[in-house]
Amino acid sequence: MPPEIMRRIALYAIDNGVPGPPKEFYSLILTCKALHRLLATGPGDFYYRMFTQKFDERSPLRRLGKRALKEQAGSELRRRFNALKRIRQSCLDDTSLTETLWIAYTMVEDVSQINRQQLLWARLPIFLDEYVRNRLYEGSEAFGGWPLLNERNSLAIALLWLCNDKSVVEDESEASCDAMLRLLQPYVFAAFRYPMFNASSQLDKAVEISSKKHSHTTHGPYPPDSLPPSEITYLGSIPRKARVPLISLFSSLLYFTRVERVAPTIPPHLETAPCRTRTEAALLGQKGPTVEDVIDFVDNCNTRFLYLDNQDKLRHNVPSFALSQDRSYTLGLLTGRWQGSFILPFIDDYQSWLKASSIPSNFKTTGRQPLFVTLHEHYTCDRAPILPYDHEGMNTWLTSGYQWSEKEDGIEVFDNQGKYLASYKTYHPEGWEERKVADIIVTGKTDDQHAAAWGGYSIIGRIRDQMDGCGTTVMQGYVDVSQNFVGRLKGASCGIAPAGWEGVFVLCRASVAE
């Protein structure tokens, strides 16, 4: 029988839609020496076709090209299946654990249904849960009990979120959920130790990274640095630089989804109040939440999960993707209505955490508080008149010292003496033609209905277009892969010394129906 026919038979036997290693292939090469020679040393095209049957090939093809993928397909198949076996067997002490996590993470980045099925076959969510509960704090005793900021922990936490869904959270026992919350708290609330951003708030697109200033705290330099890019084996033996996922960002998403399990109860005084709806309260001129407002908060202000089979959302250029190349901010990403919640530490407690070298026994915080805001983006394509980046770094994100005049389709900016400085047009998705944008200002406020219920907010800030895609005002954060706007909320500062307090927020985009 011609070798090509035999290889086709082997590929046909493997192409059964069953995840996991190709058992039929292993059985064939163990049948006799002739078949072993024929199949185990097959040409690159043979292993390439096997790879496409077992894994998603589109992203490797886009990054490397077909020739490179054919050359590396055989070794990459061995790497991936060995990693999947280690995950399925819960080899938490394996010396190649970090490599295993990187392989899983790049599979999530190149996600498709076929990759998802392979990861589920390996029981990746169970493996990650065991790692976080048993090894996340490994080595913390040498640092006052604070968990380490390293590649392994960052990958495990990021993958746990990317594999998370509503059923996983709902199925956790109360004790298991509480234990997970305690494990995550340092990464969520200790902003002075664990960064949530790829670049400092004092930096802008015109400032070199080397010029970043620090102050010194009990916990080391502030602001804390994110982990540098890592050189990983991307496919076969081909190396790539990869960004380590931001552990605080993903910890916050995991934290909020678990806190949201306990819905706020309607206070008795609201149940018996004469105004049960927002309309009734407005007619009487009463401020504060009604029963209807509490129900609105419970139903609509929840963190959205990522589903691995939603490929469209997974193609966005967001910080969760390690191998994505740096690109400019996409105008329109923040425009729209956002709703969610924030959690704040108590100021005295936060100050004690900042001063103490040992981890606190309890991170005392407020409960979830509602946050509703509608954001608008205003842009200019003319680089000459854009607002300067000065004032000790404050204007890299909080544009103070200026007066703003809102027009029908944009804003005009003046200095405190009334001198005209610049004009910015308001972004509208309809009719937008792609063009090079020089600067973006974000404004926003809470709509009247929600402001009457929960208090209103006014927002003004700046997009750091070329640095890290981070849009900030007093709120500094990312729109992540699951389309949640997640970040930290803090008092204004120049970014060199720790703020007096830093909280955490997670918002999701409101649907048209809402």
The two three-digit tokens of residue 478, written as one number: 């990312």
How far apart are the C-alpha atoms of 198 and 214, rounded to whole Å? Answer: 15
Residue 472 binned pLDDT confidence (cut-offs 50, 70, 90): very low
Locus of tokens 């054919």 = 70
Residue 196 in any domain: the answer is no
Q: In this structure, which amino acid lies at residue 27?
A: S
Q: How far is CA 40 from CA 57, 73, 105, 484, in A?
A: 21, 13, 28, 46
Min mean pLDDT across 26-30, 281-285, 294-298 is at 26-30
Residue 64 in any domain: the answer is yes
Residue 207 binned pLDDT confidence (cut-offs 50, 70, 90): very low
Residue 481 in any domain: the answer is yes
List, as one string, the DSSP characters of 162-209: HT--HHHHHHS-HHHHHHHHHHHHHHHH-TTTS--SSS-TT--TTS-G
150 with 278, same domain: the answer is: no
Q: How many structural domains are present in the chain? A: 2
Mean pLDDT of 432-450: 88
Distance of CA 169 to the CA centre of its chain: 18
The H or E element that residue 72 is part of is helix 66-88
141 with 277, same domain: the answer is: no
Q: For residue 467, what pLDDT is reported?
A: 40
Q: Tens of pLDDT along 96-116?
A: 999 999 999 999 987 678 999
User: Is pLDDT above 50 for 210?
Assistant: no
Residue 251 in any domain: the answer is no
How far apart are the C-alpha atoms of 408 and 95, rounded to whole Å? Answer: 61
Instruction: Kindly state the DSSP code that residue 137 receives in the 8-state scheme.
Output: T
154 with 281, same domain: the answer is: no
323 with 457, same domain: the answer is: yes
Residue, of 224 and 91, whose pLDDT is higher = 91
Classify the C-alpha dihedral 290-503-514-298 as positive or negative: negative
Using CA atoms in the order 465, 469, 475, 478, what is the torsion angle rounded to 10 degrees?
160
Please list, in sequence order, all residues whose beta carbon lies within 8 angstroms of the beta carbon of residue 69, skipping any fewer than 6 positions away: 48, 51, 57, 60, 61, 235
Q: For residue 211, what pLDDT is reported?
A: 47
Specify which residues 410 forms β-bridges with: 407, 425
User: Is pLDDT above 60 for 212?
Assistant: no
Residue 494 is part of which domain span?
271-509
Q: Tens of pLDDT along 223-265?
A: 888 999 999 999 999 999 999 999 999 999 999 999 999 988 8
Q: For residue 417, what pLDDT is reported?
A: 84
Residue 214 in any domain: the answer is no
How far apart are the C-alpha atoms of 266 and 179, rounded to whole Å? Answer: 27
Residue 226 in any domain: the answer is no
Among the three residues 163, 191, 218, which one is the final residue of a domain in this structure?
163
Measured in degrees and rounded to the nearest 5, phi and psi for residue 112 equal -155, 175
Instruction: Kindly state the DSSP code that residue 510 receives in the 8-state scheme.
Output: P
Q: Tens of pLDDT along 13-57?
A: 788 788 998 888 777 777 787 776 777 666 678 889 999 999 999
Specify which residues 470 forms β-bridges with: none
What's the predicted TM-score (pTM) here? 0.89
Q: Tens of pLDDT along 311-321?
A: 444 444 344 46
Residue, of 203 and 412, whose pLDDT is higher = 412
286 with 159, same domain: the answer is: no
Among the three residues 130, 163, 196, which one is the final residue of a domain in this structure?
163
Residue 199 binned pLDDT confidence (cut-offs 50, 70, 90): low
Min mean pLDDT across 81-90, 325-334, 432-441, 483-492 is at 325-334
User: Is pLDDT above 50 for 139?
Assistant: yes
Residue 187 in any domain: the answer is no
Among the three residues 129, 163, 197, which one is the final residue of a domain in this structure?
163
362 with 505, same domain: the answer is: yes
Mean pLDDT of 407-423: 86
127 with 276, same domain: the answer is: no
